[in-house]
Amino acid sequence: MNYTLTNLEENIKTLYLGQGIAKPSEIDMWQFAYKFDIWIEFEEGKSELVETQRDLFTICLDVRNSSQKQWQDFAHEFGHVIRHVGKQHELRKYFRDLQEFQANNFMYHFCVPTFMLNEFNVSNCLDIESGAKFVASTFNVTEKFAKKRLALFRDKLLQVKSDEEHRRYMEARYPKAPPYSQETNDIVKRALELKAKKERKIQNA
C-alpha cells in the first residue's frame, strides 16, 4: 500500500528527525521543551498553557496524573504553541473549539508519530484491542489513548486502500495512455477528420 504522509504527519516527522529522534525509545518531552524554550511546571490542577511573556510559554501539568497522561497533556499544549498564536480566552467559542480540535489531533500524531508507527505491524492496525497494549507500552501513552490513535490510523489506511482501488478502477475504465481502445481510436479519428474538413472549408472560402 502506497501510504503518503499528510502535511501534519510530515511536519511532525521533521520535528522529530530535527531533534535526532527516530524511534519511540528516544522520545523525550524535556528535549522539546528545551528546544522551544518552554518551561514545564507540575502542580495540582488542570493542565494548561500559560504565556508568561511574549513568545515565552509555561506548560503546567497536573502532578496527580500518570507520566503517560502528563506526556499526552504536554503534547496537546505543545500543539497550541506550534500552531496557534494569541490568547484563546479572547476568541469566539467556534474558534476556540477549532483550536482545541487541532491541538487534540496534533497530540495524537505527536505522541504516536505515523512514521514510527509504520515501522510496526501492530496487527495491521485493524485489531485495535490487541494492538493498543503494544502501542501504549511502546510510545508511553495510556491504552485509551492508544486505541483512539490506532482507530485514526486504521481509518487512514482504509481510506488509502479505498482511494487506490478507485484509482485502479478509473484507470481501467478510462485509460489515459496508449494503447487506446478501438472505440477511443474511432472517436479521435472522426474528430480529426471533422477538424480537417472545417479547415479546408475555411481555406476555400
Instruction: Determine the pLDDT at residue 3.
Output: 77
Number of domains into which the chain is organized: 2
Cell readout for 31 is 528535549
Q: Going along 36-142, which residue ranges are E strands?
A: 38-43, 48-53, 56-62
Picking from 117, 93, 98, the residue whose alpha carbon sits closest to that of residue 12 is 117
Q: Are residues 71 and 157 in the same domain?
A: yes
Asked whether residue 200 is domain-assigned, the answer is yes
**Model confidence pLDDT, tens digit, residues 179-188:** 666 777 778 7
Q: Are residues 51 and 142 in the same domain?
A: yes
Q: What residue ranges of the chain have pLDDT lower than 50?
A: 86-87, 89
Q: Are residues 138 and 113 in the same domain?
A: yes
Contact 60, 43 (CB under 8 A): yes
Contact 109, 8 (CB under 8 A): yes
Question: What residues make up the domain containing 74?
Answer: 7-166
Structure pTM? 0.75
**Model confidence pLDDT, tens digit, residues 59-80:** 999 999 999 999 999 999 999 9
Asked whether residue 172 is domain-assigned, the answer is no
